[in-house]
Amino acid sequence: MLSELDNFYLNLEEPQKGCFLALRDFILTLSQDITPEWKYKLPFFYFKGKMFCYLWMDKKTKEPYIGIAKANLLNFLYLEQGDRKRMKILRIPPNQDLPVREIKECLTEAMKFY
């Protein structure tokens, strides 16, 4: 039987499905200390046992994004704070190549706060 986390990915439609799976795989390669979790009905990633980031999509545009905990401490122009207090998001266009440099840059920097 598949977990809720596995079902989340499998039940998505393209292009979000491929985008989310690529994001998951890429995030997990950044450190052996990153683990996938199912939290608040979202795919979360923990770093050294603490909430690190999550994947979700904009309700209106269906555009995927990475929500990054402690990103309020980061100053990258491509991160959006919006109404969030501790989190910022990095939008990911689902029909384009992943912005690997930006993802790696901000997540690697965020790991320094743990």
Least Cα distance to 53 among 31, 94, 93 occurs for 31
Output the furthest CA–CA distance in the chain (Å, rounded).
Answer: 42
Question: Do 92 and 85 meet the contact criterion of CB atoms below 8 Å apart?
Answer: no
Give me the number of domains the chain comprises: 1
Question: Do 89 and 82 meet the contact criterion of CB atoms below 8 Å apart?
Answer: yes
For residue 85, give the CATH number of its domain.
Answer: 3.90.1150.200
pLDDT of residue 46: 98
Tens place of pLDDT for every residue, the chain, 114 residues?
789 999 999 999 999 999 999 999 999 999 999 999 999 999 999 999 999 999 999 999 989 999 999 998 898 999 999 888 889 999 999 889 999 999 999 999 999 999
The residue segments making up the domain with residue 25 are 4-111
